[in-house]
């Protein structure tokens, strides 16, 4: 009886630690293509590419540019989204110098 209980404990510990590893390996395999819905891009590419005519030297020439259009009036949620754009820049890692983020206001900011 004692040996059986020890075996069950050992199997339980093995399942506790190896179960998630095996599950992740299955999810990452070509057999089971798991793609969570929340991980999809929400933006779109402007087609055909349109050059921006800038009034001053902004330093975004020859870079991939994320353009965020500020709605009028820009409420608190709009400002939070604009602040979250900094996280994209940080997340780009070693490619961060190739990425520029620009805010586009349709009307003058106050």
The confidence score (pLDDT) of residue 51 equals 73
The per-residue pLDDT string of the chain (110 residues; one tens digit each, 9 = 90 and over) reads 577 888 999 999 999 999 999 988 888 877 776 666 665 666 777 788 777 676 666 677 778 888 877 767 777 777 777 778 888 878 888 888 888 887 777 766 55
Distances from the Cα of 28 to the Cαs of 16, 22, 40, 41, in angstroms?
20, 10, 17, 20
Q: Which two tokens stand for residue 69?
A: 């259009």
Say whether pTM exceeds 0.95.
no
Contact residues for 8 (Cβ-Cβ < 8 A; gap 6+): none
Burial class (CB in 10 A: 0-12, 13-18, 19+), 26: exposed
């Amino acid at each position: 009886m004692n040996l059986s209980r020890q075996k069950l404990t050992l199997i339980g510990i093995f399942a506790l630690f190896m179960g998630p590893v095996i599950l992740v390996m299955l999810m990452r395999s070509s057999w089971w293509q798991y793609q969570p819905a929340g991980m999809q891009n929400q933006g779109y590419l402007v087609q055909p590419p349109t050059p921006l005519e800038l009034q001053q030297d902004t330093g975004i020439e020859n870079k991939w540019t994320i353009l965020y259009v500020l709605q009028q009036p820009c409420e608190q949620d709009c400002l939070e989204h604009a602040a979250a754009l900094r996280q994209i820049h940080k997340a780009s890692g070693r490619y961060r110098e190739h990425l520029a983020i620009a805010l586009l206001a349709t009307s003058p900011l106050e």
